[in-house]
A and B are shown apart, each in its own frame.
Chain A
Amino acid sequence: MAKQTGDALSVKLNRQIGKRNLGMLIALGISALIVILSLPFMNWIRISYIRGFAEKYSIDLGKTPIFPGYSMLTFLGFVQKTKAGILGFPAFLLFFAVVASLVLHAVYIVNLIIAKPKRSNGLLGIYSFGKASNILSIIASAGTIWYIFFWANSRTFPGTFIPSPVVFIVLVLAVANLVIVKALEKTELKKYHDHGFFEEVRRNWILFVFLIPCFIYFLINNYLPMSGIYFAFTQFNFRDGLFFSPFVGFKNFEFLVKANLWPLTRNTILYNIVFIGLGNVLQIFFAILVSQVGVKWFKKTSQTLIFMPYFVSYVILRVLVYSLLEDKLGLLDNLLGNLTGKNIDFYNTPKYWPGLIVFFSMWKGIGYGMVVYLATIMGISDEYYEAAKIDGANIFQQIRFITVPLLKPTFIILLLYAIGGIMRGQFELFYQMVGQNGILYDLTDIIDTYVYRVTTTQAMSMGLATAAGLYQSVFGLVIVVLTNWIIKRRNAEYALF
């Protein structure tokens, strides 16, 4: 019975009206309505009685104006103003749910207006945006209702907040829109011999079972901690604890900008640029040299030895560096002392460290990178070289005009990956080489070491450390997306995703 009405609905909604079908036109209207109802000037939460709340949080209503209602996009402002940290965390998650639903609805609307089916799967791509945006709207609106009844009121002052009718309207509209898109999808799936999620689970359930451990791992290790970026907007104190400390907006970021964001960013990026540039040049250079060696034992031995530093830990690197540089004990320190007659106190002289860090980064990584490039050189056909020799090209010309140009694709791929990670420092390298030697921080402190130091030594600065980490992550993500966008336009083959 339900199936029949579903099919009937599906048929009705799929009636063509010009370029689009009826369902798409209705969905377009509903989505636009949801977007309007989710904008900041639409109240989702109404303040019905503020006195009790104000008394509990000692707010002077004369000085701190409270609006009669808030949207989920502006409610965090209320949380910040009233210093009611307990309201923050769920409100923060709901804020992102609303933002994400707005973005996806916008994409859905644009796609519905263009209404251009893809050859491979028709309108299914558009419908998947429809599903995602409406599910998010349902989560946001239902979540807000839950939040008001089961969190905000019971944990602050009962009766302070009530949901406005707008939230219920959004919830109903989103459910209706989801039903429509499901009905539309059904015919489209049939047309392209595709199937939905539950059908896929039924067919390949064992593959889903195989994925369970991986799913649990990434949930615990990566995805759930993402919600912890909330700490970046709080001022941690032990009385309120992790999740309920006061929400302070961008205060941590302001502090970072004033304090050390610029030198940290500069160090992180500059070091990475040198690591990438110099590293690749050296790796290519020595890969070519090794590839040209004919004596088998020499080739094997040299490669084995050059690869060796890759296998030792950074703690060992710390010992190595120490044995070379320690004042009056290190081998290199003594050698330089004997040559120039004056010992350099490396561990107290910042200016040498950029060079040293770059050197040991190269030292540890050259074996690995060399193997990557050797793999590519191995793939170059001998015929090119034979032909070049017949034309009278000497060995340098062969390298210049055959090997190097053919290494370019590998180089570009590695470069793009590296640019994606340009905001991520090599924490272990810096931490083990410099340690807690504050004298050297000016030229050697990167975001990663800063975050580690703040977290492990100043428990109260949790918010600050999270803010620095979030800045790094967002900046890095923007760079990755930008790089990928540019590559896709120029040469889609190299795109990262």
Chain B
Amino acid sequence: MKRSNEQASVEKQLNIHSTKIKKGASGIAFDIIKYGLLTLLALICVLPFIIIISGSFSENQIVLKTGYGILPKGFNTDAYSFIFKKPEGILQAYKMTTYYTVVGTFVGLSVTVLTAYVISRKTFKYRNVVSFLIYFTTIFGGGMVPWYLMYTSVLPLRGTTFIIWFPAILGSFNIILMRTFITGSVPDAIIESAKIDGAGEGTILTRIVLPVLKPGLATVGLFLALGYWNDWYRSSMFATDKKNWELQLYLYELVNKANAMKELVNTGVVLNDTMPTQTVKMAMAVVVTGPILLVYPFVQRYFISGITVGAVKG
């Protein structure tokens, strides 16, 4: 019931005020403006992606001479062949990123639900104190250095995979969002009557709250997963071994390497390397982002509903 409401609101949002307005001269002028500007903006948003995809299917030598284009220049798949000729590195990065994403999202989601459930309970005396302590972390902190030293020097965690996923499991925004989902989908009266019937907090959470919380779980889970997939920072800070690198850091290093090679060639050094530097960068970008853009159309609405819920109830 609640779920369909949620969907309906998203549908409605995608389809607000369908044209009931009769068109006068100003109406027609407005039509031209809005369709024109939105098309332009959409193009600006997509164009860079098209350049990357085209670049990845181009011939490296032609790109080096004439630059990137909207269409592939000298269509071929050399760049992809190069990447997958020795795929160990990228496969390892893929494996680790998947691992971080799955473990981080699962643990993060569980802890977020537990926390959000507690601060949503009106009979819990310290819910405002807990909420404030969580919010306070967003306005004051010790900064990057103490944070880094906490994980590497104070706690003996240097070199583990734990410190790459653990620091991102909880976020103030996600907790508040989940709390809003809980209070929005389970009325207090239901929880209170369950308590009177003798249900414990654990039973209420698993039997009453969780079954109707699926949209909330999907939304927060996707926010978490996206964050994990797109992260490069934590492995650049914490990973002591290349085998623990995240995919994005792998791409980052490859881009740096390719740029350095180009600089060398520009200064007159002759390299014997056959790496098609320019197109490989683009192909790597496609390989790294591929999964996201594939699932994007299907999960988009969860993000929209999450942002909407977060925005309306703040």
Q: Which residues of A contact B (CB under 8 A)?
A: 194-195, 200, 204, 206-207, 210-211, 213-214, 217-218, 220-229, 231, 242, 286, 289-294, 296, 298-316, 318-320, 322-324, 328-331, 333-334, 363, 366-368, 371-372, 374-379, 382, 385, 389, 394-396, 410, 413, 420, 428, 432, 451-452, 455-456, 462, 465-466, 468-470, 472-474, 476-477, 480, 497
Contact = CB atoms under 8 A, between A and B. Distances in A.
A455 B146 CA distance: 11
B34 A316 contact: no
Nearest to B256: A435
Contacts of B139: 420, 476-477, 480
A374 B12 CA distance: 10
A408 to B, nearest CB: 14
A396 B24 CA distance: 12
Most chain B beta-carbon neighbours within 10 Å: one of A224, A474, A476: A224
A367 B46 CA distance: 12
Contact of A293 (B38, B201, B230, B248): B38
B39 interface: yes
Contact of B70 (A224, A331, A379): A331
B269 to A, nearest CB: 18
Contact of B252 (A223, A318, A331, A394): A318
8 contacts: A194-B125, A222-B142, A225-B143, A302-B42, A304-B297, A375-B312, A376-B311, A395-B27
Contacts of B124: 200, 204, 207
Given A302-B38, A378-B9, A395-B30, A372 B311 contact: yes
Contacts of B148: 455
B312 A379 contact: yes
A308 B140 contact: no
Given A229-B142, A372-B307, A477-B139, A292 B34 contact: yes
B311 A466 contact: no
Interface in B255-314: 255, 259, 278, 281-282, 285, 288-289, 292-293, 296-297, 300, 303-304, 307-308, 310-312, 314
Nearest to B306: A371
Contact of A305 (B45, B232, B288): B45
A473 B67 contact: no
B135 A497 contact: yes
Contacts of A313: 229-232, 248, 288-289
Chain B CB within 10 A, most for which of A217, A303, A324, A376: A217
B93 interface: no
Contacts of A315: 230, 232, 248-249, 251-252, 255, 288
Interface in B162-185: 166-167, 169-170, 175
B220 interface: no
B304 A465 contact: no
A305 B42 contact: yes
Given A195-B125, A319-B281, 8 more contacts: A194-B125, A214-B170, A218-B170, A308-B296, A368-B307, A378-B308, A473-B142, A476-B139
A210 B114 contact: yes
A9 to B, nearest CB: 25
Contacts of B259: 322
Given A311-B226, A329-B67, A331-B69, A466 B282 contact: no
Contacts of B17: 291-292, 382, 385
Nearest to B278: A329
A420 B140 CA distance: 11
Contacts of A324: 48, 51, 68
Contacts of A229: 142-143, 146
Given A294-B18, A366-B41, A224 B150 contact: yes
A389 to B, nearest CB: 7
The 3 A-B pairs at the shortest CB distance, nearest first, are namely A228-B146, A469-B143, A294-B19
A291 B16 contact: yes
Residue among B41, B110, B114, B230 with most chain A CB within 10 A: B41
Interface string B14-33: 11111111101011001001
A306 B145 contact: no
Contacts of B191: none
Given A213-B111, A313-B248, A314-B230, A225 B141 contact: yes
